Amino acid sequence: MKLLEEYIRTYGEVPNDDVLKVDAFLNHQIDTRLMMQLAEDFKEHFKDQKITKIVTIETSGIAPCVFLGYLLHVPVVYMKKNPSKIMTDDCYHTNIHSFTKDRDYEIVISKKYISSEDNVLFIDDFMANGEACLGAIRVLKEAQATICGIGIVIEKAFQSGRKQVQALGYDVYAQARIASLKNGTIVFAE
C-alpha cells in the first residue's frame, strides 16, 4: 500500500537493523486518517470472506481493527496480554514471545467472545518472526473458530513469520513489506 509506505518513509525510525519504530502514526500516536485508509484496504482485500469477527492482540493492532470493524459492521475482539485479576471467566490462552520487547506474554481471550460460529479475520500491526500470529492461530483453533484471513499492517519480510504461517496453510496479506532495515535505510519488498 503506497500511502502506508510513504508514512513509513516519512515518519518511521530505524534504531537498528531489526527494528522499525512507527510511533508517530501507529504504535504511540494514531493517525486516524491513515487508520481509515488501512481499514478500507483490508476491507477490499478480504471482501469475499464472510467475516463475523475481527481479532487482534493488544495494543497496536486495535486501532486499524476498530476502523475495519466499523466498515464491516462486525465486532472487534482483542486478545489481552497478561490477563488481569478480574478476568475470571473461562478463557482460551497461550504463550507468545515478543521480538520487539524480547519478553514472553500470555495472551488470553474470553470464551464469551469467540466460538466455533465465528469466521475470524486476524489483524496485527507487525509480523516479524510470526510468534504473535502463530499464538493467535493456536487460540482461535482451540476455540474452533474459522480463520478466514490474516492481515498484517507491516511485515518485516526479512524475518521468518510469513513462512511459518504459510506452512500452516494460511495466506498472509501485508499492507507494507520491509525487505531490509540495514544501515538505517528502509527498503521495501516488491
List the domain boundaries for the chain.
2-188
Q: Is 129 labelled as part of a ligand binding site?
A: yes
pLDDT digits (tens, 9 = 90+) for 96-125: 988 777 888 889 999 999 999 999 999 999
Q: Kindly report the CA angle at 156 between 142 and 33, in degrees rounded to 5?
A: 90
Could you tell me which CATH class the domain 2-188 is placed in? Answer: alpha beta
Work out the pLDDT band at 88, boundaries 50, 70, 90.
low
57: left (phi over 0), alpha (psi -120 to 50) or beta: beta
Q: How far apart are CA 66 and CA 75, in angstroms?
A: 8
**SS3 assignment, position 155:** strand
Which residues, in sequence order, are bridge partners of residue 16?
Answer: 19
**How do beta strands 119-127 and 53-57 pair?**
parallel
Q: Is 156 labelled as part of a ligand binding site?
A: yes
Q: Is 176 labelled as part of a ligand binding site?
A: no
Q: Is 183 labelled as part of a ligand binding site?
A: no
Cα–Cα distance list, 92 to 7, 35, 42, 75, 79 (Å): 36, 28, 26, 18, 9
Q: Is 119 labelled as part of a ligand binding site?
A: no
pLDDT digits (tens, 9 = 90+) for 54-79: 999 998 999 999 999 999 999 999 99
Residues near 52 by beta carbon (within 8 Å), at least 6 away in sequence: 74, 117, 118, 119, 120
Q: Is 27 labelled as part of a ligand binding site?
A: yes
**Which cell is 50 given?**
464472510
pTM for the model stands at 0.94
DSSP 55-124: EEETTTTHHHHHHHHHHHT--EEEEEES--TT--S-EEEEEEEETTTTEEEEEEEETTS--TT-EEEEEE
